[in-house]
Structure 1
Amino acid sequence: MDSPFVRTVLGDIPASQLGLTYSHEHLIIEESFPTQANPDFLLNDVEKVAEELTHVYAAGGRTMVDTMPANAGRNVLKLAEVARRTGVQIIAPTGIHLEIYYPQSHWRYQYSEDQLTRLFIADVEEGIDRYDYNGPVIERTPHKAGMVKLATGDEAFTPHQELIFRAVVNTHRETGVPILTHTNSGRHALAQAELFANLGADLQHVVLSHLDRCPDLDYHRAVLQTGVRVEFDSAFRWKANEENVTYRLLEALLPEFPEQLTAGMDAARNTYWQSYGGAPGLTYLLTTFRDELARRGLGDYWNRLMVDNPASLYSFHRQG
């Protein structure tokens, strides 16, 4: 049996080589439809991004999962350049983001399930288009996607979103690529997990993001009992006069579900990056966050949360 591997933007590596992993980040967001409405989403300065990730590497970080999927600001050539400059292993995404990050006339609404499936598979197996599907010419690079993403919002799933689910699971089942999702403040995470199960996805290689924005502990238990993985990224977002829900949830859930939790920062705004003059900086997870987990008696779970679980989650697993 082949050893588990992870597909990074610079090539495949053994899963055991992943090291300390940020499970949901935004490292490059090019000028695009999302940045027109949200100028602080712009993260396209390779010098500044490399500077920040150099500090992460020095603090012990080894891998980061970029989560800006097809035609929403993805720039695979810049991701590859940052990886080469810093030594940080970067997993690049394919898939489709929330509807608000695309114009209403976008091709996502025109393509069939089969067309989207073939597009995602090509990103995983052949290489990501250097133009990120912004025009009629497609020029595939050597840099392949190591994750496929989808996103749902606050309302019940639409037929279009269900089509995206099917294309994503088709890609996952055909190639073994892991799946990551966006949930709006944790909403509809249980419905996502149930739909993935019904479509035949391997839930050990599916991670639902942003769930710690939902404070309901019973809801988290219901989601985790499906067997899916979840990702927390809001520890630094809670205000000083608020309860830090992220830490409360980790205190309750790490002992019960030690193999299903992962963490990141989802630092999609340049105002979070020290290299752009913001705060707290991407070293936060390896400093303040780690120290707080230790203070709360959770230090023994650190390697599970940041090394072992991401290595298992983000490894390829082609279903027989």
Structure 2
Amino acid sequence: MSAIRTVLGDIPAPDMGVTDAHDHLFFRSPVLAGQELDDRQAAAAELRAFGGLGGRTVVQWTPRGLGRRRADLVELARETGIQVVSATGLHQAVHYDPDHLARIRDRLAELFVHDLTKAPVRSGLIKVAGGFHGLDAHARHVMVAAAEAHRATDAPIAVHLEGGTAATQVMDLLCGVSAVRSEAVILGHLGRSPDTRAHLEAAHTGAFLCFDGPSRAHHATDWRLFDELAALAEAGHGHQILLGGDTTTATARASSGGGPGMPFLLHSLRPRLAREFGEKFAAEVFIDNPARAFAADWE
């Protein structure tokens, strides 16, 4: 039976509830030095605010080596009552020490499977990343390892699309070459390249489509969002759409006074979705679609 693998254990997919499909409670990288997400109290405040608006589950896409803090995720899930899904996988090479990548290069699939099936706090998805309008050698190597781990576990694969680009190349590698089920792939950051034709092309592959990142850094994507969603819905792809906050810096949290953070999804975006497309569509995006996107047959 399909289930969602949370940090507190597996739950039936229908129990996922209202979901932030792409976010971060903890995150650190040399690329964002001085902007680390490392405040446990602030993370708890974001979860409580999200839960207070009806949120039930947050999917953290922070992969290996970037400060996942899995033990803290367990404690936060218990304290706040919010279900948390954690990730394994790797981001772009720029986020890591090259010597570290060299040491683990030949056993990535093994490490991913361990995180998914044997670690004390198990991951529920595999995070990988493409490049800007293409895939470098690191991205290809990580994606092939992710595909191997998917075939061993059925875990979903979530993809950072740099600038919203290279979705076709990603799907060709994961599904065409590496035999991953298209519906097991979640393409993230599509809104960062507001190319409706490219969105429709990505939708035709069968992957889930995640629009994420309302923040000062990505504000240029916000005002295009509803036109993009309308185009996808009108073409019959509403069942593939996901929404997430993708909070990657402390100043992007609502609890910091910056924001808009996780609560924005429910106090602003969901009511607008319901007004413009109907409550059924809003429920599909926030409840039904995540329950399918992040479910796997773990046994």
State the TM-score, normalized to the length of structure 2: 0.93
Aligned to 1:131: none
Partner of 1:120: 112
Counterpart Cα distance in 2 of 1:112 and 1:243: 37
Contact 1:231–1:263, Cα closer than 8 Å, also in 2? yes
Greater shift after overlay, 251-260 or 288-297?
Answer: 288-297
**What whole-Å deviation, never above 9, does each CA across 1:202-254 have from its counterpart, x for those lacking one?**
111110100011111111111110111110014555658x8711111011112
Aligned counterpart for 2:163 among listed residues 150, 160, 185: 185
Separation in structure 1 between the aligned mates of residue 126 and residue 244 of structure 2, nearest angstrom:
17
The CA deviation at 1:290 is 1.4
Task: Give the equivalent residue in structure 2 for 1:266.
Answer: 246
Taking the aligned partners of 2:168 and 2:122, their CA distance within structure 1 comes to 30
Question: In the alignment, is the contact (CA less than 8 A) between 1:93 and 1:147 conserved in 2?
Answer: yes
Higher helix share: 2
The answer for the alignment partner of 1:135 in structure 2 is none
Question: Which residue type is aligned with residue 14 of structure 1?
Answer: P
1:172–1:244 distance in 2 versus 1, CA, 3 Å: same
Secondary structure at the residue paired with 2:160? strand
8 Å contact kept, 2:93–2:138: no
Where does 1:293-308 land on structure 2 (aligned, <5 Å)?
A: 293-308=273-288
| Consecutive unaligned residues in structure 1, runs of 5 or more | 128-141
Q: Secondary structure at the match of 1:7?
A: strand
Deviations 1:67-96 (A, max 9, x none): 110011221011111111111100010000
Counterpart contact for 2:131–2:139, Cα < 8 Å: no
Counterpart code for 1:286: L
What does 1:1-320 align with in structure 2 at a 5 Å threshold? 3-29=1-27, 32=28, 34=29, 37-40=32-35, 42-106=36-100, 108-113=101-106, 115-127=107-119, 142-154=120-132, 156-198=134-176, 199-235=178-214, 237=216, 239=219, 244-255=223-234, 256-317=236-297
| Identical amino acids, percent of aligned pairs | 32
Unaligned runs of 5+ in 2: none
Structure 2 CA distance, aligned partners of 1:70 and 1:169?
16
> 1:251 touches 1:296 (CA, 8 Å); kept in 2?
no
User: Are the aligned partners of 2:7 and 2:122 in contact in 1 as well (CA < 8 Å)?
Assistant: yes
Deviations 1:95-131 (A, max 9, x none): 001112112322x234344x1111110101111xxxx
Distance 2:22 2:136 in 1: 25
* Separation of aligned partners in 1, 2:45 and 2:137: 42
CA distance in 2, matches of 1:104, 1:313: 32
Partner secondary structure for residue 77 of structure 2 = helix
Q: TM-score, normalised by structure 1?
A: 0.87
Rounded to whole Å, the distance in 2 between the matches of 1:218 and 1:153 is: 20
Partner of 1:230: helix, strand, or coil? strand
After superposition, what is the alpha-carbon deviation per residue over 1:275-310, rounded to whole angstroms, capped at 9, x for unaligned? Answer: 223222321010111122233234331111111111
SS of 2:171's equivalent?
Answer: helix
Q: Give the Cα separation in 2 of the matches to 1:75 and 1:235.
A: 24
| RMSD, aligned CA | 1.9
Q: Which residue of 2 aligns with 1:134?
A: none
Cα pair 2:210 2:241 within 8 Å, conserved: yes
Number of aligned residue pairs: give it: 296
